[in-house]
């Protein structure tokens, strides 16, 4: 169900969970992954399960997933344009 990236992050944040848990008696401390690939891919099942645990309905989850992926792709496009511009400027300067 989890991607390789999800598993890596779950393991990576385990020490944070173990540090926080004793500081927050009565609270549940866990890591939920919401990974989006560079082309906008994501594990819909993982996202749905996590969002359901956070109290979102399937309809709310679908809207959120669509909107988040759209925003991430827009931001990624902006970053690529910035990188492209920087590389063109560097190439034009002969460096």
The per-residue pLDDT for range 39-79, each reduced to its tens digit, is 778 888 899 999 999 999 999 999 999 999 889 888 888 88
What pLDDT does residue 41 have? 81
Q: What pTM was estimated for this model as a whole?
A: 0.69
What pLDDT does residue 26 have? 94
What pLDDT does residue 27 have? 94
Cα distances from 49 to residues 1, 34, 41, 44, 92, in angstroms, run 10, 11, 16, 8, 49
């Amino acid at each position: 169900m989890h991607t390789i990236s999800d598993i890596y992050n779950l393991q990576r944040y385990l020490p944070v969970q173990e540090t926080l848990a004793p500081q927050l008696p009565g609270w549940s401390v866990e890591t939920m992954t919401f990974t989006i690939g560079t082309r906008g891919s994501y594990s819909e099942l993982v996202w749905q399960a996590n969002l359901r645990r956070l109290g979102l309905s399937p309809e709310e989850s679908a809207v959120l997933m669509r909107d988040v992926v759209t925003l991430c792709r827009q931001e990624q496009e902006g970053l690529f344009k910035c990188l492209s511009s920087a590389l063109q400027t560097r190439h034009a300067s002969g460096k």
